[in-house]
Amino acid sequence: MRNRPPNIDGLAASTLQLPTGAWLTVLDCLCERFSSVPRAQWVERMARDRVVDSDGRSLTPETPYRVGLEVHYYREVPDEAPIPFDEVVLHEDPDLLVVDKPHFLPVTPAGAHVHETLLGRLIRRTGNDALAPLHRIDRDTAGLVLFSANPGSRARYQALFRERRINKSYEAIAAALPDVEFPCIRTSRIVTGDPFFRMQEIEGPANSETRIEVIERGNEYWRYALTPITGRKHQLRVHMAAMGAPIANDNVYPSLHHREAGDYSAPLQLLAKHLTFIDPLSGVERSYTSGFRLRGFPLFHA
């Protein structure tokens, strides 16, 4: 069995299995497949051993093209800006990390964020390349994330989510809904929308369910407790927007709003607040609470 290339500075390698084509070199294929990356940048990566085969051998600009060759490369974003907010590790043992994530920090590499991710930071902090998130929350959402620290026990923790044996609850600040009787259950069918990163509700059998309660009532905005029964992408944001109370500062639902890079002035008012579960290894109940707090609004009062 071949080993994957090691992480570099907390970043795992991406993999491309070369398809059928008429390219003369691996470099020619990479340049055509990833046209947004200049040829000179691929050459420079190769010179730094950032493009290798499945045996860890460095590939060069002259390496001949071969169908089926596994090429491993490390994504890079020139001048990637640091995200000026810190995560907090709430629990660490040989099998599990529980981390409180700030707003704006992605859990894993995506788009313009490669090194500035929660996973990358934790690997650099712990030196454990085997770390893997057991679930995800949006970059825009703050709060609790669980990481597996040991591949040998990972499946038992993953089963908690698959079998719905973990209780998750969120807090959100959104517009008041005085005509709705709480607590209430929102169910709907959520599918991929347009553009691809947005979700939407459509007619059909429900595949999503959220319990919604009110924690505090203000003049214009209320603080809600949201408990996802299912785990569809953007489920809480879609459900609140569909009820007529989009989560405050949501730049995706109900409509898209552009946010300038580096603008941290209006964090999404959504927080993964509580996690409770029976540890599958010890049988002991674990319970964690985020130390972050949603900021509220001038018209909001306890």
pLDDT averaged over 10-residue windows placed end to end, the chain, 302 residues:
68 88 96 92 93 92 96 82 94 98 91 82 92 94 98 97 96 97 98 92 97 95 96 96 96 90 92 98 97 68 32
Tell me, what's the pLDDT at 32?
95
Numbers of helices and strands, H then E, in the chain: 5, 14
Tell me, what's the pLDDT at 11?
76
Alpha-carbon gap, residue 33 to 54, rounded angstroms: 19
Instruction: Convert 93-127 to b/e letters by CB count within 10 Å (16 or more is b).
Output: eebbbbbbbbbbbbbebeeebbbbbbbbbbbeebe
Tell me, what's the pLDDT at 302?
32
Q: Which domains does the chain have, with CATH numbers?
A: 14-73 (3.10.290.10), 88-289 (3.30.2350.10)
Tell me, what's the pLDDT at 260?
86
Tell me, what's the pLDDT at 298?
41
Tell me, what's the pLDDT at 109?
80
Bridging pattern class, strands 96-101 and 142-148: antiparallel
Tell me, what's the pLDDT at 296?
61
Measured over all CA atoms, what is the biggest interatomic distance in the chain, rounded to whole angstroms? 68
Residue that has been written with the tokens 């959520």 in this structure: 190
Tell me, what's the pLDDT at 70?
94
Tell me, what's the pLDDT at 111?
65
